[in-house]
């Protein structure tokens, strides 16, 4: 397998991965690594598949190898941080996101992920500031507006949380969770008619969202 063939194999693996065909993508990433054991992109994406498949410890090993090859890769640090956060390793997750931002200060995804991890650790003010930074960089970033709503609700800043959820809904009106969380805020504010409408919309979009039925 020459360099051109390796690149073609890697490109095919990335397309399969993007389309959700994880087993086929994994086989191709492994073929690439048989020829180039330190191919950073293959290591990184194989790590993402490992995490998606419930093998988070292996994912950390693979992303660590990818970053050893390319230590100036903010997206890899961000993905590493997200995996660490899901594993409950918040200090390490925060450190990884800060490293991503140190490499690229305008990397809005890392700012949002940093905010998410800080909020998980109970540092709401710092978390909100990080998420607002993500929005300042990319104003139409749905995930940041949604996470901002969640953080503001935790702070009992209900009016601001409502605005954040409404902005998230405007950006992506096809997801149920922002409607459900907006309903929670409206219910706590005593705006029961609007809360009911919001819960009904959440149920319409995702009939399996049990929380919305309960709250309705």
What is the DSSP code string of 167-195?
HHHHH-TT-HHHHHHHHHHHHHTT-HHHH
Which CATH code, of 1.25.40.10, 3.50.50.60, 2.60.120.260, 3.40.50.2300, is assigned to 1-71?
Answer: 1.25.40.10
Checking if the pLDDT of 209 tops 70, the result is yes
Residue 56: name the closest of 47, 68, 45, 44 by CA. Answer: 47
Residue 68: name the closest of 27, 40, 105, 97 by CA. Answer: 40
pLDDT in tens, 93-115: 999 999 999 999 999 999 999 99
Extract the tokens encoding 171.
Answer: 């950006």
All CATH 1.25.40.10 domain ranges of the chain, comma separated, are 1-71, 157-216
What is the DSSP code string of 39-51?
-HHHHHHHHHHHH
Residue 161: name the closest of 190, 134, 139, 188 by CA. Answer: 188
Cα separation, 145 vs 167, whole angstroms: 7
Beta-carbon contacts of 6 under 8 Å, excluding residues fewer than 6 positions away, are 32, 35, 36, 39
- Find the helix packing angle between 90-103 and 74-86, rounded to 10°: 170
State pTM to two decimals. 0.92
pLDDT score of 75: 97
For domain 157-216, give the CATH superfamily: Tetratricopeptide repeat domain (1.25.40.10)
Checking if the pLDDT of 1 tops 70, the result is no
pLDDT score of 89: 97
pLDDT in tens, 15-67: 999 999 999 999 999 999 999 999 999 999 999 999 999 999 999 999 999 99
């Amino acid at each position: 397998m020459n360099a051109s063939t390796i690149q073609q194999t890697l490109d095919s693996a990335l397309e399969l991965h993007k389309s959700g065909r994880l087993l086929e993508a994994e086989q191709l990433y492994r073929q690439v690594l048989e020829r180039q054991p330190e191919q950073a992109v293959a290591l990184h994406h194989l790590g993402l598949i490992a995490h998606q498949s419930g093998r988070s410890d292996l994912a950390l090993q693979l992303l660590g190898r990818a970053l050893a090859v390319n230590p100036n890769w903010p997206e890899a640090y961000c993905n590493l941080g997200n995996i660490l956060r899901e594993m409950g390793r918040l200090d390490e997750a925060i450190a990884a996101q800060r490293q991503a931002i140190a490499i690229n200060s305008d990397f809005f995804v890392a700012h949002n992920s940093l905010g998410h991890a800080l909020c998980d650790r109970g540092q709401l003010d710092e978390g909100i500031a990080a998420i607002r930074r993500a929005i300042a960089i990319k104003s139409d970033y749905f995930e940041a507006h949604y996470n901002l709503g969640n953080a503001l609700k935790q702070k009992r800043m209900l009016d601001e949380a409502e605005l954040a959820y409404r902005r998230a809904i405007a950006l992506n009106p096809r997801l149920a969770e922002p409607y459900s969380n907006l309903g929670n805020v409206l219910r706590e504010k005593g705006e029961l008619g609007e809360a009911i409408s919001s819960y009904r919309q959440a149920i319409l979009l995702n009939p399996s969202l049990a929380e919305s039925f309960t709250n309705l």
